[in-house]
Structure 1
Amino acid sequence: MGWEDELFAVFDDLEGQASALYAADRTAEVADRSRAEYQQVSLASRLMASAGSTLTLVVRGIGPVAGTVERVADGWLLLASGEHDWVVHLGAVSTVEGASVRSVPEVAWSPLTRLGLASALRRIAEAGERCVLHLVDGTRHDGALRRVGADFCELVEGDRRTVLVAFSALAAAQSRPA
């Protein structure tokens, strides 16, 4: 083998090493970018991708609640579960089973999904439906929602007793059939 062949063999070897280093560096960069991008994924965006699916949520103060995700919005979701619908405060969700592996970024959400928990509770109040408010500490209040403020709701229980419930303490509102 002549000196030219040996030189080309050295260049080929160096080029192979450079390609291997680039590939290893690229793999690490892609993994870093993937981790960085996933930091932007919220629980709500994963739940939004699960709309129409049956999930099991563990909700603080209640325990497991299973049902079909009907709607996801800013800070809450609507879960259909047999005769009862649940308006679940996302801040009270501990775990979710059965969620889609995908997510829907918030920029792709409908403007209606920007409506907060107060909007969902106002709909219940306006309909005059009876409901049970489940709190994160495990207590329950059964009655009819009358008014909804900025960060609380007003529930009238059976004996006309009025209870104000702070949204920060609310785990979920469960509908009661008439």
Structure 2
Amino acid sequence: MGWEHDLFALFDDLEGQASALHAAERTAEVADRSRAEYQQVTLAGRLMASTGTTVTLTIRGIGPVAGVIERVADGWLLLASGEHDWVVSLGAVTTAEGASIRSVPEVAWSPLTRLGLASALRRIAEAGEECVVHLVDGSRHDGALRRVGADFCELVEGEDRRTVLIAFSALAAAQSRS
């Protein structure tokens, strides 16, 4: 009877070792899958999950701006900062502090979020509001957006009402004046 006990103890030990090896392999596989899935996460997805949250964004050509993310869409976001609203080009965002640890995959976004930066700027132009357009090189233009093209916007500025064309690739943000 002693040898049977030893044999069962050996089988139990082997089964325990097999379970431990399986658990170690599974842990490594889950970690690999997690890393592979995280490679699909975008900055826009993280910021979308942060809607309604106060964040500090560092924007190229402007510096840090703190505010509440009100909307995230294709290539831009709306940030409410004190008395100003900022339409920020996502390509100009260099850092974000205070963002959610979660993300929303772009396939789960509302169809309205497919509207690009041009749509947001058209809303400003239609309202006829004065704004400050900040460029990624640190320069800025004060005036009113008149029209918005496919890859640029037209701003009227100064007392002489001169027209300035601004390429979207150079635009960091449009800031409301009120």
| Range of TM-score over shorter length | over 0.9
- Report the CA distance between 1:81 and its aligned residue: 1.1
Structure 2 counterparts to residues 20-35 of structure 1, below 5 A: 20-35=20-35
Give the paired residue count: 177
Letter in 1 for 2:60: R
The equivalent residue for 1:96 is 96
Distance 1:22 1:7 in 2: 22
The equivalent residue for 1:70 is 70
Structure 2 counterparts to residues 11-160 of structure 1, below 5 A: 11-158=11-158, 159-160=160-161
- Report the CA distance between 1:5 and its aligned residue: 2.0
Letter in 2 for 1:165: I
Runs of 4+ off more than 6 Å: none
Distance 1:11 1:71 in 2: 60
State which drifts further: 5-14 or 39-48: 5-14
> C-alpha offsets along residues 86-129 of structure 1, whole Å, 9 cap, x if unaligned?
00000000100111111112122111110000000000001111
- Report the CA distance between 1:6 and its aligned residue: 2.1
State which drifts further: 154-163 or 138-147: 154-163
Segments of 5+ residues of structure 1 without an aligned counterpart are: none
Distance 1:56 1:73 in 2: 18
Distance 1:93 1:36 in 2: 24
State which drifts further: 17-26 or 1-10: 1-10
- Report the CA distance between 1:2 and its aligned residue: 2.5
Segments of 5+ residues of structure 2 without an aligned counterpart are: none
The equivalent residue for 1:175 is 176
What percent of counterpart residues are identical?
Answer: 87
CA RMSD of aligned residues (A): 1.0
> C-alpha offsets along residues 48-87 of structure 1, whole Å, 9 cap, x if unaligned?
1111111110000000001111111001000111121100
TM-score, normalization: structure 2? 0.96
